[in-house]
Each structure stands twice: as structure tokens, then as C-alpha cells.
Amino acid sequence: MISGAVARILLRYVAGALVAWGVLGDDAGYQLANDPDLALLAGMGIAAATEALYAVAKRMGWKL
């Protein structure tokens, strides 16, 4: 499932940015980047957003 891999990559970038900005500590950033439940939720969000954008594009008559 490609969205799961993309979700894990996105979570790692988000966690790295939050740690770099000082919003999260090192331990919390590591947990965010490596939590399989968060990766599953992020993957589901990516899939839902993709389907929603497809529906909008189809409704608006955009080329697919």
C-alpha cells in the first residue's frame, strides 16, 4: 500500500520539523515518526483526501 509508505515519510518530516522548531522534544518526535497507529491514520487521511479531490475534479469537469 503506497499511501502507508507516504504517510510514514510525511510523519517523519513533520516530526523532524516540530523537533527542529522546539515544539516537540526528541522522544516525542521519535514516537510520532515511528508510531504505526499514526501512520495508519495518516494513510487513511491521504486516501480520503485523494478520493475527495477526485470527486471535486470530476464534478467540476476537470481533465483527469
- Model pTM score: 0.64
Question: Does 1 have pLDDT greater than 60?
Answer: no
Which helix (H) or strand (E) segment is 63 a member of? none
More confident residue, 25 or 64: 25
DSSP class of residue 23 equals S
Q: How far apart are CA 28 and CA 23, in angstroms?
A: 10
Q: How far apart are CA 53 and CA 26, in angstroms?
A: 35
pLDDT at 61: 92
The answer to whether 11 and 33 have CB atoms below 8 angstroms apart is: yes
Which tens digits make up the pLDDT trace of 11-50?
Answer: 888 888 888 888 888 888 888 888 888 888 887 888 888 8
pLDDT at 52: 93
